[in-house]
Structure 1
Amino acid sequence: MGDIILRRFEAADAEWLVEQHGSLYARDEGFDDSFGALVDEILQGFIASHNPACERGWIAAQDGQRLGSIFCVRLDEHTAKLRLFLLVPEARGRGLGKRLLFECMGFAKARGYREMRLWTHESHRAACALYAANGWELLGSKVVHSFGVDLVEQSWKIAL
């Protein structure tokens, strides 16, 4: 097996990302089709109008197989937002999540952002543990009904 590489997201990756998010979240958390539609909307917006000087998406791949993704997008002049952080099940537990997180945070810091934020769900325990272990602060939680299920939505931030 070859080494895992992190490469820039390309428009051709969008269909795979929508399918992975939709199927994994449906299987693991019971999400309905509205989640895949949201991922598609986010990706189409990124493809159409992202600024490569201050926003980027990465795809983790090994031997031509996609394993995951992470995105850094601009919220405002000083704040970046982490989006679409995903690892396929067979890529988990190998340190790849931490590698993607550090790549994204390093990019944001190098581009002059002072802070990063993200939105997730409490049920993503491994991701939340990764954020907490690497200096992210939980800003708040609230109970919501989204994607056809009851969830606890969380907001996190980190100073860069």
Structure 2
Amino acid sequence: MDSDGPWVVAQHGQLYARDDGFDASFGRLVARIVADFIANHDSEYEAGWVAERDGAPMGCIFCVRLDAQTAKLRMFLVLPEARGSGLGAQLLDTCMAFARVAGYRRMQLWTHESHRAACALYAKRGWSLTDSRPVHSFGCDLVEQSWEIALQ
């Protein structure tokens, strides 16, 4: 994961700036999350995946420990050229399967309603929207969402 960290940070910063108008504070947040994951993750309970096509990274997803019973899905991203290929579903299924094997009883995630394709995928996989509220984050007015799923 050490070698993939810069790609994860760069892609999040670039795509969210381009597609959602996020400012540089979002890239700094992702950089802190990735650095913390690389430095401190417990591989029994946390994992990250970078999917490749022909040797080029196309997407990523991370499962991190929120507490003993709860995993948090983080940094889920699929490059535009890989969207619609099923890669997002494969990454999400892999992450959720890992969380089940690691013994988590539920998963949570935080996103924005503008990520309609990802939200549709969450709903299709059985996730429930637990909170939705307008916020001003990363230099933009957004609608922040929280989602959750029982794993057991």
Q: TM-score, normalised by structure 2?
A: 0.98
Give runs of aligned pairs for residues 26-45 of structure 1, distance below 5 A.
26-45=17-36
Residue in 1 that maps onto 2:61: 70
- Give a deviation string over 1:11-31, Cα, whole Å, max 9, x none: 111111111111101110100
Q: Distance in 2 between matches of 1:16 and 1:78?
A: 30
Answering whether residue 73 of structure 2 is matched by residue 82 of structure 1, we say yes
Question: 5+ unaligned residues in a row in structure 1: which ranges?
Answer: 1-9
Given candidates 131, 144, 149, the residue that maps to 1:140 is 131
Structure 2 residues not aligned, in runs of 5+: none
SS of residue paired to 1:117: strand
The ranges of structure 1 where at least 4 consecutive aligned residues each deviate by more than 3 angstroms after the TM superposition are none
User: How far off is 1:157 after superposition?
Assistant: 0.2
Give the drift of 1:153: 0.3
Q: 2:51 matched to 1:60? A: yes
Question: For each residue in 1:33-85, what CA deviation from the matched residue of structure 2 results, as whole angstroms up to 9, or x when unmatched?
Answer: 11110000000000110000110000000121000000000011110000000
Q: State the one-letter code of the partner of 1:129.
A: A
2:109: which partner in 1? 118
Q: In the alignment, residue 127 of structure 2 is paired with which amino acid?
A: W
Give, as a single letter, the amino acid of the residue that structure 1 aligns with 2:146: S
Number of aligned residue pairs: give it. Answer: 151
Q: Distance in 2 between matches of 1:31 and 1:77?
A: 32
RMSD: 0.5
Match for 1:25 among 1, 7, 16?
16
Q: TM-score, normalised by structure 1?
A: 0.93
**Identity of aligned pairs, percent?**
64
Q: Does 1:49 align with 2:40?
A: yes
2:91 to 93, 97, 100: 100
